Chain A
Amino acid sequence: MQIHPEQDGSVDPRGLLRGLYSYADLPSPAPDDIGPVIEMALARRAGIRALDRFVQEAGFPVEPLSTPNWGPADE
C-alpha cells in the first residue's frame, strides 16, 4: 500500500486514499473523479472522529443497532 508521507512525517490523506483503492482492489475512481472523491471522504472525517469519541465515552457495552427493526407493539 503506497502512502505519501508529508515532509513533517505525517501521512498525506490524499495519498492514503489513493493507496486504499489499490490495496483493497476496490473499483478505482476515474481520474476526473479522484479529486471530488477525496474531498468528500475527508469532509466527513471530523464528524466521524467526534462521533467515535461520543460512543467510546458512553462506555461498555453498547450493542450496535445494525438490525434495528422494532419488535412487537409492546416493545
Chain B
Amino acid sequence: MSDAFSPLTGSTITSAAAAIAAGRLDPEELVAAHLARIEELNPTLNAFITVDREGALDAARRAARESGGPLRGIPIGIKDNIPVAGLPATQGCAAFADHVPARDNGVVARLRAAGAVIVGKTNMHECACGGTTDNPFYGPARNPWDLGRSPAGSSGGCAVAVSGDLLMASFGTDAGGSVRFPAAVTGLVGLRPTLGLLPTDGMLSFSTDTIGPLTRTVDDAELVFDALVGSPGLSVPSVRELAVATLAEVSWENTTTDVAAAVSAAHAAFAGAGAEVGEVGIGGFEHAVPAIDVLLAAETTAQHRERVRTRPEGYSAPVRQMIHAGEAIGAADYLQAQKYRRLLRTAVLEIMREWDALLLPSQPFTALPFGHEEAEVRPGEWVSRPYAMLRCSALAALTGLPAISVPVGVDAQGLPIGLQLVGRPHAEHTLFALARVIERRLRSPFATRLETATS
C-alpha cells in the first residue's frame, strides 16, 4: 500500500490540534484529506464498515467555525459495536445489519464535545468474539504492514485505519485484549483504561469490557484520554522513582524469540532510564485463560441466545457454534471464574504494592497470515493462537487494571512488536510516562517516521 508520508494524514493529533488551535490548519482540509485517503485505500484495507462522509464534513465545518475543544477537527473512527447516533452498529454481524442506535454512547458524546469529527464505523471481528478481523460479512481488514496478514482483533479496523493513515485515532473495545492485540501488530499505541472509567452504554458489553483509544504515539494517547476523562496535567513521578517488573510466566514462554528479546530490551531501557526493575510471577496464573474464556463465552451466549434462535443465518457458523457451546457453561462455572478474578486481583495488587507496572508482551507473536489458528513461536514449537494471545491479555482484562500496548520496533520480518504495561488502578498517566521510555529508547515505528519526516 501507499506509505508516502503526508503532513496532513501522517501527522499526530498533538501537532494537528495545535495547528488548528493556532489557526494554521483548517479542520475541513484535514478531514477532507483523510476522506480522500479512505476513498483511495479502504477498498484494499477494508478498515471501515460505514463511512459518514457528509456527517464528517459537516462536523469539520462546524469545528472550523467554533473555538475550543482539545480534539477540535480531529478525524476519529469508532468500532462498529459502539453506538453512534444515526449510524449502523452492525457488531460486524449480519444479524445486526439493521441496528441503528438513536443515541451516542457516552464516549462518543464526550468525543464530540471535545470537538472530534466522527468519520465512520470500523470493521471488527464478528460480535467481538475473536482475535482477528476476518469478518465473514464485511470482509477481512488487512494489515497495512503486510496485506497478506491479519491486523488481529477484534478492533482490527480501528488499527488498520490509524496505522494506514486513514484516521488520526480510533476507539475500540477491549474485553479480552481487543484493543491491545491490534495495536501491537500494526505498530500503534493502544490503551485499555481502568475498568469502569469510561461508559459502555448502548453496547453489548462484557463484564471485563472497556472502550479504549488507538493512536500513533503515546502523546496522542494521553491527549485523547485527557480529553475524555478531564485530567490533563496530572503530575506523575519521574521514571527514576518508578519500579517495573517483568511478568515471567508470559514473557518467556510461548513467545517468539524476537518478542522475548523486545521484553528484555524494554527491561534494560527502564533500567537505563533509572527505574527500578525486576521480575515477578503470579501464583495460579495458569487459570487465567480458562477464566477469561468462561466469562467471555457465557456472556456472549447470554447476549445472543435469543437472536441466534430467530436469525441463525445472521451469524457465521463459528460464532453461532460458539454461542451454542456457551450454553454448556454452568452458572457455578461462571461464578467460579468471577471468584478467580477476585483472587487474581488481590494477588496482583499485593505484588503491585512494590511495583508501579508489570511488563509483558501485548501479543506473543507479530501479525499472522490470514487463517492461521496456530503460530510457530520457535522452530517446531507451535501454539494455539487464541490461547497464546489470551495469556497476554487476561491479566488486565480479569483484574480491571489499566494497560497500554506500546510499539517497540520490528521483528526479523519487519513486522511491528508491541509490549504491554499493566498499572495500578487509575494510574494511566504513570503508564504514559513509562510507555514514553519504550517509545523513545526502542524506536517506535511511527515515532521514528515522524522524526524522519520532520527532521
Contact = CB atoms under 8 A, between A and B. Distances in A.
Interface stretch (B219-227, B337-345, B403-411): B337-345
A73 B207 CA distance: 20
B195 A68 contact: yes
A69 B196 contact: yes
B309 A69 contact: no
A65 B333 CA distance: 14
Q: Which of A20, A27, A38, A41 has the most CB of B within 10 A?
A: A27
Given A37-B321, A47-B293, A54 B327 contact: no
B308 interface: yes
B106 to A, nearest CB: 14
Contacts of A37: 321, 324-325
B333 A48 contact: yes
Contacts of A51: 287, 290-291, 294, 333, 336-337, 340
Contact of B343 (A55, A66, A70, A75): A55
Given A26-B327, A30-B312, A70 B341 contact: no
B305 interface: yes
Contacts of A73: 425-426
A70 B428 CA distance: 13
Interface string B322-339: 101101110011011111
Interface in B275-314: 284, 286-287, 289-291, 293-294, 297, 305-306, 308-309, 312
A36 to B, nearest CB: 5
Contacts of A67: 207
B339 A64 contact: yes
Interface residues of A, number: 36
Contacts of A69: 195-196, 400
Interface in A30-56: 30, 32-33, 36-38, 40-41, 44, 47-48, 50-52, 54-56
Interface in B391-440: 400, 425-426
A28 B324 CA distance: 8
A64 B194 CA distance: 19
B321 A63 contact: no
B317 interface: yes
Contact of A62 (B197, B286, B343, B400): B343
A48 B294 contact: yes
A24 B76 CA distance: 45
A24 B277 CA distance: 53
A33 B317 contact: yes
Given A33-B320, A69-B196, A73-B425, A55 B340 contact: yes
A18 B291 CA distance: 24
A56 B207 CA distance: 22
A51 B337 CA distance: 7
Contacts of B333: 48, 51-52
B335 A64 contact: yes
B384 to A, nearest CB: 10
Q: Which of A20, A64, A75 has the most CB of B within 10 A?
A: A64
B325 A65 contact: no
Contact of A44 (B195, B287, B294, B336): B294
A52 B290 CA distance: 10
Contacts of B336: 48, 51-52, 55-56
A69 B208 CA distance: 9
A17 B321 contact: no
A52 B334 CA distance: 10
A65 B312 CA distance: 32
A40 B337 contact: no
B214 to A, nearest CB: 22
A29 to B, nearest CB: 4
Nearest to A42: B328
Contact of A54 (B284, B309, B338): B284
Given A36-B325, A67-B207, A69-B195, 11 more contacts: A21-B327, A27-B308, A33-B320, A33-B321, A37-B325, A44-B329, A47-B290, A55-B336, A64-B339, A68-B341, A70-B426
Interface of A: 17, 20-21, 24, 26-27, 29-30, 32-33, 36-38, 40-41, 44, 47-48, 50-52, 54-56, 58, 62-70, 73, 75
Interface of B: 194-197, 207-208, 284, 286-287, 289-291, 293-294, 297, 305-306, 308-309, 312, 317-318, 320-322, 324-325, 327-329, 332-333, 335-343, 345, 400, 425-426
10 contacts: A26-B305, A36-B325, A38-B325, A51-B291, A52-B333, A54-B287, A62-B339, A66-B207, A67-B207, A68-B400
5 pairs of A and B residues whose beta carbons are closest in the complex: A69-B196, A47-B290, A64-B338, A27-B309, A41-B328
